[in-house]
Amino acid sequence: MSSSSSLFHCENCPICGDKVSGYHYGLPTCESCKGFFKRTVQNKKEYHCNEQGNCVVDRLHRKRCAYCRFQKCLIVGMRVEGESSLCFVSVTDFCSEPFR
């Protein structure tokens, strides 16, 4: 396995647990959470939770509560300035040591 394909081979998205596709907004995340975070920030969306902010956010349930998903994005460290201060690093573009 090359270093580029092994970069995220055992990494799961810290938000939903899906397969990581690269660094997005300061963290290694999946494409789905990257897009969700981007749309939320760009469109200045405000969400509300009907379950007191205790919803399960995983690969199977990530679309059920946008509020809890966005809160989890923030809690694990996604940040708006992540894209402007850090370049996109995808699995195919990375050419350094595997992420640990």
What CATH number corresponds to the domain at position 31? 3.30.50.10
Q: What is the pTM of this model?
A: 0.73
Number of structural domains (the chain) is 1
Residue 62, both tokens = 């990530």
Could you list the residue range(s) of the whole structural domain that residue 70 is in? 3-90
Give per-residue pLDDT as tens, 60-79.
Answer: 999 999 999 999 999 999 99
Establish if 29 belongs to a structural domain: yes
Q: Minimum mean pLDDT among 8-17, 29-38, 63-72: which range? A: 8-17
Q: What amino acid occupies position 27? A: L
Residue 23's DSSP bridge partners are 28, 89
Let me know if residue 96 belongs to a domain. no
> Does 66 map to a domain?
yes
**Is 34 a domain residue?**
yes
Q: ∠92-28-52 over CA atoms, to 5°? A: 145
Sorting pLDDT into bands at 50, 70 and 90, what band is 80?
A: confident
Per cent of the chain over pLDDT 90 is: 68
Q: In this structure, is residue 99 part of a structural domain?
A: no
Asked whether residue 88 carries a pLDDT value surpassing 70, the answer given is no
In a domain, residue 98? The reply is no
